[in-house]
């Protein structure tokens, strides 16, 4: 059965109804329609109710749900039938067919589209390009055939006036490789008497571009054409323009050339102009009143105007060896004009179908090379019709439905019987309406209605429709399913000499014989055939091959429309009978196309004539449900302890027996060879209820097991990840250490002790370790460099390090690249003439003040207490800072104890300004000068030496790098500003309002 749907949606399969009655059937159908469930099963038949709205049940997700599943595993759907047909074709190598039936507007054409869409979607993706091509062709052909074979009527925007049987060919892999279309065009008149107009006519008049209409001499106004007015006042679609473009594009995609498409629209224009032709009389001579149309027709048909006029007004007759032109009467000319319009349209439609078949048919397929190809057929044919006035077309349509219903009943019964015989189950005989008697009434040789009609058409002389009815009354007076007013004089619903009634399987239908003979003859004068054959348009010429016959050649009488239709129906039924059939029964819920309205009587009538209740009874007569043993076990094995989770019995059949015995259903089932047959729906429902209860428990158990499994999987993944992470970290650490060892193992023998060696990139976990390792290396490298230095060199190194730490990045030139001499006044470079004098004075000071060593000495420019600038010499020892007069043989002027110095301030520029800050706020402002070479900077050396010395004595020296420098002179606050002057030759101080200005050379 179908997936267990909630009871709020009714029964998903009519076979599962509690009581098989029309009332319960209709109630279930209505409930499902109102709940949005438009599909319901009858076993393996789909009943489809037209929803009259777009439904989101045909997308890719839905296709995946039905792909490869059994019918009863998912809710009812067209896709389930399509998949069943495809599986039967692919797995069992069987030709299959899907028969779609129902009345006009029930949704048959849409159903055929969705079935083709599904088949195209599930085929092999590796062959997608070819599959898409064939699918595109088949779907596009639908668009074209609808336009030329369907009519706009007051009942239906898309009323099928033709039947279509499409074969889709598949190769041995199950991929579509082509197709073939058989058409059964019934309504040849482009404005048939069903009060409708073929869609292509409206699309041309209302949708074609203005330029194209001008070339065809067509007006935009549909009411300007007699044939459209005869067809009825049909509302034009607002999408006529889009529809016209869609049909034209579809023809291009299929492979129609531009010339062929243009010819198609020329033929439609020709039909419209033919309808507007008016004939008049001048005495005994018949004339064309609007002769301008003749030249238009000649242009459209690519033939001479005089030939068109002659064919319309004259008929060429051969009498022995003589050939004469016989002029038409007014009535004959009008009949010939209408017959030509119908014949042209019929030939056009057949040519379009033939052209499509030429393109989509399987080509170059060799069975020996490619394997057997199989077929899925899709039949979309007109449904049973009952109008207020039913004519020849409705008679043929209803005969067609009688044939298909007979086939349906036969095949369903046959399938049931064959399945029971295969499975060894006794078959119970079912009574059903056998409509073979009605089929014989229509098609039986010599006695059937078609035979009487053909005989009337072949009689020499004038035979009227009334005479045809008399002949029918004579031949069929005793037939139980035929009657007329003459045979039933009290039946006032029938008109004398006009109507007869047939009791169809779908109900009684009264037919009017008016027009039966003309429509059956459907003769076209040979002159028209020759006219069109002689056209210079090759497409038109190809449509009329019999036009090449000479007028004197004797030809067989063409078959009548009834005989042609009967033969095609017999052929169709034989074709369908040779295939494994699947059925879609379409129902039209209301006449107003409402998605909400369910007209009970209308639907009931369709259910009756479609034989759906009989179908349910046939299915229920034996067993309501049957399933193969493995599938049954798979669905219900959790009910029994003997079958859950797996059985150990000899076979699946034995396991199913044990399961059903345990449930107490052994008296309601039968066991076939491969299937279990269940008689009543109650058993199915009970099994489903027990299954639903067990599924809850199983789900809880599975959830518990699965959650535990997930937790264990998660733990194992985490543990494995941790092990991997640890191993990887160890590997990275070892790799890094090995790499460092490899790169630095010979650094002792290198000239630069490994300074040029590039460090490898450490793993994240070793970044701090690498930093420490670099520090260790750097300390080792530094120690290696300084271990052999003399004490004097070490002092200088420490001073340079102190300078670097204090001034790096704050002054440009620190003098680190040169040797620091410290005591520059001893050097002959700075004071070549007075060096000896300075040496004597410094020796005296050393004896006097007991200092250990000279830290720094240099010539300077200073500010005295009278704010005057003067040259002095600066001597800094480890105990004092001395100011000396170089003019007076370096006579000491004043000394400042070094412990009294608290800080030093320098500017960030290149100048040599230094301010010594003291505890008693008597700061010393000097500018170093007399450097050799002149560009040297000794600020860095002075600061570094002082810092190193103070550090060795564990004292702190404050060093400021600022501009301007704030200081105190004799207890008064002042600032020292450095300015650059272009014409300045030597640095010098000048007094300013706030303090002093040191002017330095600009270049």
Domain 434-556 indexed as CATH 3.30.360.10: no
Predicted local distance difference test score (pLDDT) of residue 905: 94
Predicted local distance difference test score (pLDDT) of residue 986: 87
Predicted local distance difference test score (pLDDT) of residue 722: 94
Is the predicted pLDDT of residue 849 greater than 70, yes or no?
yes
Predicted local distance difference test score (pLDDT) of residue 153: 57
> Which of the following is catalytic: 109, 142, 169, 615?
109
Is the predicted pLDDT of residue 134 greater than 70, yes or no?
no
Bond before 964 cis per omega within 30 degrees: yes
Bridge partners (DSSP) listed for residue 87: none
Predicted local distance difference test score (pLDDT) of residue 967: 92
Annotated catalytic, 104? yes
DSSP states along 508-537: EEEEE-TTHHHHHH----HHHHHHHHT-S-
What would the pLDDT profile of 963-987 be if each residue is shown by its tens digit? 899 999 887 899 999 998 888 888 9
Using CA atoms, how far residue 747 sits from 200, 435, 751, in Å, is 95, 110, 8
Q: How far apart are CA 675 and CA 656, in angstroms?
A: 10
Q: What is the mean pLDDT of the chain?
A: 82
- What's the pTM? 0.60
Annotated catalytic, 385? yes
Predicted local distance difference test score (pLDDT) of residue 195: 39
* Low-confidence winner among 176-185, 245-254, 256-265, 495-504 (lowest mean pLDDT): 176-185
- Residue ranges of the chain assigned to CATH 2.30.29.30: 791-971
What would the pLDDT profile of 738-757 be if each residue is shown by its tens digit? 989 998 888 888 888 888 88
> Which of the following is catalytic: 40, 142, 156, 374?
156
Annotated catalytic, 859? no
Annotated catalytic, 109? yes
For residue 936, the SS3 value is coil
Q: How far apart are CA 532 and CA 263, in angstroms?
A: 13
Region 3-26: mean pLDDT is: 80
Burial of 555-590, coded b for 16+ CB within 10 Å and e otherwise, reads eeeeebbbbebbebbeebbebbeebbbbbbbbbbbb
> Which of the following is catalytic: 44, 146, 187, 385?
385
Q: How far apart are CA 308 and CA 301, in angstroms?
A: 9
* Low-confidence winner among 359-373, 453-467, 541-555, 717-731 (lowest mean pLDDT): 359-373
Q: Which two tokens stand for residue 320?
A: 């022995």
Predicted local distance difference test score (pLDDT) of residue 710: 93
> Which of the following is catalytic: 28, 44, 48, 105?
105
Is residue 524 very low, low, confident or very high in pLDDT (cuts 50, 70, 90)?
confident
Q: How far apart are CA 269 and CA 595, in angstroms?
A: 37
Binding site, by residue number, is 102-109
Q: How far apart are CA 208 and CA 242, in angstroms?
A: 9
Region 609-631: mean pLDDT is: 75
- Residue ranges of the chain assigned to CATH 3.30.70.1590: 625-709
Using CA atoms, how far residue 156 sits from 149, 233, 595, 917, in Å, is 13, 13, 15, 111
Predicted local distance difference test score (pLDDT) of residue 2: 45
Is the predicted pLDDT of residue 490 greater than 60, yes or no?
yes
- Residue ranges of the chain assigned to CATH 1.20.58.530: 434-556
| Phi, psi torsion values for 374, nearest 5 degrees | -115, 170
Burial class of residue 903, CB neighbours in 10 A (0-12, 13-18, 19+): middle
Binding site for ATP, by residue number, is 102-109
% of residues, the chain, pLDDT over 90: 15
Region 830-839: mean pLDDT is: 80
What would the pLDDT profile of 73-125 be if each residue is shown by its tens digit? 788 999 998 888 888 787 777 788 888 887 767 888 788 878 878 887 887 66
> Which of the following is catalytic: 160, 520, 643, 945?
160
Annotated catalytic, 101? no
What would the pLDDT profile of 425-472 be if each residue is shown by its tens digit? 776 666 666 778 888 888 888 888 888 888 888 775 677 888 888 888
Annotated catalytic, 640? no
What would the pLDDT profile of 191-232 be if each residue is shown by its tens digit? 443 334 677 877 888 888 888 888 888 888 888 888 777 655
Region 924-939: mean pLDDT is: 86
Annotated catalytic, 192? no
Region 856-880: mean pLDDT is: 90
Predicted local distance difference test score (pLDDT) of residue 727: 92
Of the CATH numbers 2.30.29.30, 2.60.40.1120, 1.10.1070.11, 3.90.1150.10, which one belongs to the domain with range 791-971? 2.30.29.30
Region 509-520: mean pLDDT is: 85
Alpha helices in 232-304 (DSSP H): 240-254, 258-275, 292-300
Predicted local distance difference test score (pLDDT) of residue 927: 93
Q: Starting from the edge strand earliest in sequence, which strands make up the sheet with 499-504, in order?
A: 482-484, 499-504, 507-512
Is residue 677 very low, low, confident or very high in pLDDT (cuts 50, 70, 90)?
confident
Contact in structure between 504 and 397 (CB atoms under 8 Å): no
> Which of the following is catalytic: 40, 48, 101, 104?
104
Is the predicted pLDDT of residue 788 greater than 90, yes or no?
no
Region 593-597: mean pLDDT is: 88
Region 283-310: mean pLDDT is: 85
> Which of the following is catalytic: 40, 159, 390, 640?
159
Nearest to 218 by CA among 293, 323, 164, 163: 293
Predicted local distance difference test score (pLDDT) of residue 365: 63
Region 246-267: mean pLDDT is: 88
Predicted local distance difference test score (pLDDT) of residue 692: 81
What would the pLDDT profile of 337-348 be if each residue is shown by its tens digit? 888 888 888 888
Annotated catalytic, 555? no
Task: Indicate the Cα dihedral angle 904, 909, 912, 914, nearest 10°.
Answer: -20
The CATH number of the structural domain formed by 625-709 is 3.30.70.1590
Contact in structure between 120 and 136 (CB atoms under 8 Å): no
Region 898-913: mean pLDDT is: 91
Is residue 369 very low, low, confident or very high in pLDDT (cuts 50, 70, 90)?
low
Predicted local distance difference test score (pLDDT) of residue 670: 80
């Amino acid at each position: 059965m179908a997936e267990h749907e909630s009871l709020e949606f009714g029964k998903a399969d009519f076979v599962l109804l509690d009581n098989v009655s029309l009332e319960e059937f209709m109630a279930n159908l209505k409930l499902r329609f109102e709940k949005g469930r438009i599909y319901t099963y009858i076993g393996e038949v789909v009943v489809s109710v037209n929803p009259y709205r777009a439904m989101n049940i045909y997308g890719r997700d839905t296709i995946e749900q039905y792909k490869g599943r059994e019918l009863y595993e998912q809710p009812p759907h067209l896709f389930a039938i399509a998949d069943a047909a495809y599986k039967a074709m692919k797995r069992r190598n069987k030709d299959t067919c899907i028969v779609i039936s129902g009345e006009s507007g029930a949704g048959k054409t849409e159903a055929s589209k969705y079935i083709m869409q599904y088949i195209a979607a599930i085929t092999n993706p590796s062959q997608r390009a070819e599959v898409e091509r064939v699918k595109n062709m088949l779907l596009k052909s639908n668009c074209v055939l609808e336009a030329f074979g369907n009519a706009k009527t007051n009942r239906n925007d898309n009323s099928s006036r033709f039947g279509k049987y499409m074969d889709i060919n598949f190769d041995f892999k199950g991929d579509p490789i082509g197709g073939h279309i058989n058409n059964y065009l019934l309504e040849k008149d482009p404005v048939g008497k069903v009060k409708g107009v073929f869609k292509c006519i409206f699309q041309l008049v209302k949708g074609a571009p203005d330029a194209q209409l001008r070339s065809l001499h067509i007006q935009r106004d549909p009411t300007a054409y007699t044939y459209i007015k005869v067809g009825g006042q049909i509302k034009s679609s607002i999408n006529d323009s889009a529809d016209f473009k869609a049909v034209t594009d579809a023809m291009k995609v299929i492979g129609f050339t531009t010339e062929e498409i243009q010819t198609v629209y020329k033929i439609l224009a020709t039909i419209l102009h033919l309808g507007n032709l008016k004939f008049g009389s001048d005495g005994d001579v018949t004339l064309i009143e609007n002769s301008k149309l003749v030249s238009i027709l000649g242009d459209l048909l690519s033939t001479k105007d005089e030939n068109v006029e002659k064919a319309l007004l004259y008929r060429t007759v051969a009498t022995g060896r003589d050939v004469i032109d016989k002029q038409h009467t007014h009535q004959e000319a009008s009949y010939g004009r209408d017959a030509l319009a119908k014949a042209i349209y019929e030939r056009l439609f057949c040519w379009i179908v033939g052209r499509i078949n030429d393109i989509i048919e399987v080509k170059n397929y060799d069975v020996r090379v490619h394997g057997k190809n199989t077929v899925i057929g899709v039949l979309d044919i007109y449904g049973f019709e009952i109008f207020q006035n039913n004519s020849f077309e409705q008679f043929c349509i209803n005969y067609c439905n009688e044939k298909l219903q007979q086939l349906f009943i036969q095949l369903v019964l046959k399938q049931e019987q064959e399945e029971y015989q295969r499975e060894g189950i006794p078959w119970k005989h079912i009574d059903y309406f056998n409509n073979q008697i009605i089929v014989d009434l229509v098609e039986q040789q010599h006695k059937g209605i078609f035979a009487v009609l053909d005989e009337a058409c072949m009689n020499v002389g004038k035979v009227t429709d009334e005479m045809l009815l008399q002949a029918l009354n004579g031949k069929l007076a005793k037939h139980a399913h035929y009657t007329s007013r003459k045979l039933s004089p009290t039946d006032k619903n029938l008109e004398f000499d006009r109507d007869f009634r047939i009791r169809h399987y779908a109900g009684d239908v009264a037919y009017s014989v008016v027009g039966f003979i003309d429509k059956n003859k459907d003769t076209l004068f040979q002159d028209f055939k020759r006219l069109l054959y002689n056209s210079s348009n090759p497409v038109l010429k190809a449509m009329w091959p019999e036009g090449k016959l000479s007028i004197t050649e004797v030809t067989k009488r063409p078959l009548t429309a009834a005989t042609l239709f009967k033969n095609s129906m017999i052929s169709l039924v034989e074709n369908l009978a040779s295939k494994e059939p699947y059925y879609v029964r379409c129902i039209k819920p209301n006449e107003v196309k409402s998605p909400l309205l369910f007209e009970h009587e209308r639907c009931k009538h369709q259910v009756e004539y479609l034989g759906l209740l009989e179908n349910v009874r046939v299915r229920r007569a034996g067993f309501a449900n049957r399933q193969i043993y493995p599938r049954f076990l798979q669905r219900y094995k959790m009910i029994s302890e003997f079958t859950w989770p797996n059985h150990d019995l000899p076979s699946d059949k034995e396991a199913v027996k044990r399961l059903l015995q345990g449930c107490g259903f052994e008296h309601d089932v039968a066991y076939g060879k491969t299937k279990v047959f269940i008689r009543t729906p109650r058993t199915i429902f009970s099994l489903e209820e027990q299954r639903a209860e067990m599924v809850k428990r199983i789900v809880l158990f599975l959830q518990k097991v699965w959650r535990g499994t997930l937790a264990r999987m998660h733990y194992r993944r985490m543990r494995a990840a941790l092990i991997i992470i640890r191993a990887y970290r160890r590997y990275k650490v070892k790799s890094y250490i090995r790499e460092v060892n490899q790169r630095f193992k010979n650094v002792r023998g290198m000239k630069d002790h490994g300074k040029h060696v590039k460090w490898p990139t450490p793993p994240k976990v070793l970044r701090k370790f690498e930093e420490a390792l670099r520090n260790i290396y750097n300390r080792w490298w530094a120690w290696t460099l300084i271990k052999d230095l003399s004490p004097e060199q070490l002092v200088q190194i420490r001073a340079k390090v102190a300078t670097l730490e204090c001034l790096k990045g704050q002054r440009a030139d620190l003098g680190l690249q040169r040797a620091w001499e410290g005591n520059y006044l001893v050097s002959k470079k700075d004071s070549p003439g007075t060096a000896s004098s300075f040496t004597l004075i410094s020796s005296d000071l050393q004896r006097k003040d007991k200092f250990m060593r000279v830290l720094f000495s240099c010539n300077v420019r200073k500010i005295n207490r009278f704010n005057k600038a003067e040259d002095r010499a600066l001597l800094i020892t480890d105990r004092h800072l001395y100011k000396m007069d170089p003019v007076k043989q370096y006579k000491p002027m004043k000394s400042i104890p070094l412990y009294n110095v608290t800080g030093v301030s320098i500017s960030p520029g290149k100048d040599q300004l230094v301010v010594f800050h003291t505890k008693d706020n008597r700061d010393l402002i000097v500018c170093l000068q007399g450097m050799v070479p002149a560009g040297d900077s000794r600020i860095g050396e002075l600061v570094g030496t002082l810092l190193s010395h103070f550090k060795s004595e564990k004292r702190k020296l404050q060093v400021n790098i600022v501009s301007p420098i704030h200081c105190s002179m004799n207890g008064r606050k002042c600032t020292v500003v450095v300015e650059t002057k272009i014409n300045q030759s030597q640095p010098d101080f000048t007094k300013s309002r706030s303090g002093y200005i040191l002017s330095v050379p600009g270049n």
